[in-house]
Structure 1
Amino acid sequence: MVLQAIKYSRGRLEILDQLLLPHSEYCFDIDSCTMAWHAIKDMNTRGAPAIAIVAALALAVELVKMKLPPSAEEVKLFILEKLDYLVTSRPTAVNLADAAGKLRSRTEEAAAKKNSTDKSVREAYVMAAEMMLVDDVKDNEAIGKHGADWIRNNTEAGKKGKVSMLTHCNTGSLATAGYGTALGVIRSLHATGDLKHAFCTETRPYNQGSRLTAFELVHDKIPATLITDSMAAALLLLKGPSENIAAIVVGADRVAANGDTANKIGTYSLAILAKHHGVKFLVAAPRTTIDLKTRSGNDIVIEERPGKEVTVVTGPRSEGDRRVDRDHVETISIAAFGIGVWNPAFDVTPAELIDGIVTEVGVVEKDDDGVFHLDKIFETGGSNDKPSTIGGI
């Protein structure tokens, strides 16, 4: 059974605290926008699709529980103010801003109706937020299928038999409403018996790979191996042929109109390695991650995080190879005191290094001139309207 990091029923939202993983599985309630803002900012929940869903549903829960303002107009203004506030929690992830924009439009439409009331505006918002949760899982499963099909049909390794894959950061159930994007591609390959092995990077400095992706791979019993970030080049050189490594697949926090992609720090270097070693490099993300208003990666604002994430590590005390003492959490210094730290949370991978962008409606490839035409995937309303590969049209 795939992990469920977001649990929702009307009037209640519960999330898995990812800061405690992989050693402790603890869920807590989110009943206000303020709680959601801090959970997103502090990374109790993370992953571009997931934070959008958590933010949207948190406001839905708050609306259900609160005493509403007396008019439709006041409810509308309350919702719009809260949406603007929630977007400030993570500025790089476009999914959150995209979700807020769609919910804003739905709220304004509901309030503009002739016989609108406080309750009708609330209901319109809550239903729209709930549908986002349903759609995200469906979209992730489609991304997994399209990505797996592309790897089987468009890579030399895929034509030979079972393939191995390398992924970075966490893009699974913990980063989405369920199933995952890049990890969803790996899950799909595994489900059809086409996966030989998965490799995941530790993803310093926050260790989303070693803490979260590794946790999901073990949970799902997918054959997998953890490597440090600095081992990726050696992996492709020494084990690429024997392990039949087909591709590196990553997620995205924002994809610009030209295909430049902002993702967890370290992604850019993996794309360079993939190009050198002749391994395909794929970005897996729903269309909500694609921002046609951002022309290129040069326009993407990169979030910088506290230096302490690099200079210290926190976790339960280890007692041998398999046991940990969960009651004794310690913070350990791993750097020289007084050293300066630069800690960008993301980097931008140029479109020229990306072979395909896997979405819920298909895999976009570059045309003969090496250009992505991402606007084409917004001309369809569903995954059945376009073929698996829609690039180069």
Structure 2
Amino acid sequence: MILQGERTRSIVPTAEGTGARILDQRQLPWEVRWVELRTEDEAAVAIRDMWTRGAPMIGAVGGYGLAMAIAADPGDAAIQAAYARLNATRPTAINLKWALDQVAAAVRPLPLTDRAAAAFARAQAIVDEDERLCRSIGEHGLALLRDLHAKNPDRPLNILTHCNAGWLATVDYGTATAPIYLAHDAGLPLHVWVDETRPRNQGALLTAFELRNHGVPHTLIADNAGGLLMARGQVDAVIVGTDRVTANGDVCNKIGTYLKALAAHDTGVPFYVALPYTTFDAATPSGDAIPIEERSPAELTEITGATDHGLETVRLTQSDAYNPAFDVTPARLVTGYITERGVLDRLQTPF
């Protein structure tokens, strides 16, 4: 990822290798602030309170969080308790459970004295693998974007995305944004329509921040503008990320994704979902069985922005609010899945 003109990752180990440094996404785009996580509790707070977010990134932080817990107490009972606490922080994204399973499995057969080192090694391996997976997603997606651009070679390719599925949501490259970054770097002319993504505004605050840092042409739009743009022929493809894809191909992603898929289907615009194998949940048959996280109504009734006096929060309404964080897009509305193994028209087990 390119941040302030330099390449880095969204999560890096601390100098001694027993903790992790992450960007505090609550401060972006107004302030680039790195924070160090050194305990399981700090990792849990970072995930639960949205210091960090995005399914692969949650998994990476969760893996490190469990390693920190094992370093404090490598006993089986303590590991089980820490696993449960971390897994409960964000119930919808399947990558968290996957990463916790990976770290727990790595230490289970080992003597207590060897468990901490093995846990940190597995956590870092998860981080390294995620970068490779996202890079591969980008390469397969780049071929897709080249084909799409060839249909209208005299103008930039217009991509619409929703929420933030970029390098902030992963270790690097992102999922939905990986093809966009590689296409831009390869000289393919493109432009990105960025949904604001209410109520937390991850598009306006995070995706736009990423694209701006990378130099990718983009325009912020209201969440409800996408359908009009598609109907006018101003969108060549929709590419989104996902927090979980079930065995039948249903896609759970940030609230509002389903509406974009419906609009794309009605207007004949291809709708793609980008994901690594770590986000495929073969154990869940369909989207109906996914637990949908409900977040604080304050995310709807309040909004935070920058003023001359710093960041300030104001109320938007005095009414009650209901705030489900995700929705489910049926597999029938998905044109294809951009994965590290290629662009697939369906997913199956094994992935």
Scaled by the length of structure 1, what TM-score is found? Answer: 0.83
Amino acid at match of 1:159: K
State the partner residue of 1:349.
Answer: 329
Query: Residues 138-167 of structure 1, C-alpha deviation per residue, up to 9 Å, x if partnerless?
Result: 1000011111212333x4x44333422110
Aligned partner of 2:25 among 9, 18, 37: 18
Query: Residues 158-181 of structure 1, C-alpha deviation per residue, up to 9 Å, x if partnerless?
Result: 433342211010011110111100
Amino acid at match of 2:247: A
Aligned partner of 1:52 among 59, 62, 76: 59
Asked if 1:285 corresponds to 2:275, the answer is yes
Aligned partner of 2:11 among 2, 6, 12: 6
Amino acid at match of 1:144: G
State the partner residue of 1:331.
Answer: 313
Structure 1 segment 127-146 matched on structure 2, within 5 A: 127-146=121-140
SS of the residue corresponding to residue 164 of structure 2 reads coil
Displacement of 1:373: 4.0
Query: Residues 169-215 of structure 1, C-alpha deviation per residue, up to 9 Å, x if partnerless?
Result: 00111101111000112112212222321111000000000000000
Query: Residues 262-305 of structure 1, C-alpha deviation per residue, up to 9 Å, x if partnerless?
Result: 00000000001111111110000111111011101111111111
Q: CA RMSD in A?
A: 1.7
SS of the residue corresponding to residue 84 of structure 1 reads helix
Aligned length: 342
Amino acid at match of 1:192: A
Asked if 1:313 corresponds to 2:322, the answer is no
State the partner residue of 1:380.
Answer: none
Aligned partner of 2:348 among 351, 374, 377: 374
Structure 1 segment 117-128 matched on structure 2, within 5 A: 117-128=111-122
Unaligned 5+ segments in structure 2 are 4-8
Aligned sequence identity (%)? 39
Give distance in 2, aligned partners of 1:222 and 1:350. Answer: 30
State the partner residue of 1:114.
Answer: none
State the partner residue of 1:105.
Answer: 105
Displacement of 1:62: 5.0
Contact 1:19/1:43 (CA < 8 Å) preserved in 2? yes
State the partner residue of 1:340.
Answer: 320
Contact 1:84/1:100 (CA < 8 Å) preserved in 2? no
Contact 1:158/1:246 (CA < 8 Å) preserved in 2? no
Aligned partner of 2:261 among 271, 278, 281: 271
Amino acid at match of 1:236: M
Which structure has the greater CA radius of gyration? 1
SS of the residue corresponding to residue 193 of structure 2 reads strand
Contact 1:356/1:364 (CA < 8 Å) preserved in 2? yes
Give distance in 1, aligned partners of 2:134 and 2:294. Answer: 28
SS of the residue corresponding to residue 46 of structure 1 reads coil
Asked if 1:358 corresponds to 2:350, the answer is no
Displacement of 1:236: 1.7
Give distance in 2, aligned partners of 1:195 and 1:266. Answer: 27
Unaligned 5+ segments in structure 1 are 112-116, 318-324, 366-371, 378-393
Displacement of 1:239: 5.1
Contact 1:364/1:374 (CA < 8 Å) preserved in 2? no
SS of the residue corresponding to residue 217 of structure 1 reads helix
Give distance in 1, aligned partners of 2:205 and 2:47. Answer: 18
Give distance in 2, aligned partners of 1:353 and 1:314. Answer: 34
State the partner residue of 1:383.
Answer: none
Contact 1:140/1:286 (CA < 8 Å) preserved in 2? yes
State the partner residue of 1:31.
Answer: 38
Scaled by the length of structure 2, what TM-score is found? Answer: 0.93
Asked if 1:174 corresponds to 2:181, the answer is no
Amino acid at match of 2:171: A
Contact 2:69/2:82 (CA < 8 Å) preserved in 1? no
Query: Residues 235-269 of structure 1, C-alpha deviation per residue, up to 9 Å, x if partnerless?
Result: 223352xxxx3210000001010100000000000
State the partner residue of 1:388.
Answer: none
| Segment drifting more, 136-145 vs 229-238 | 229-238
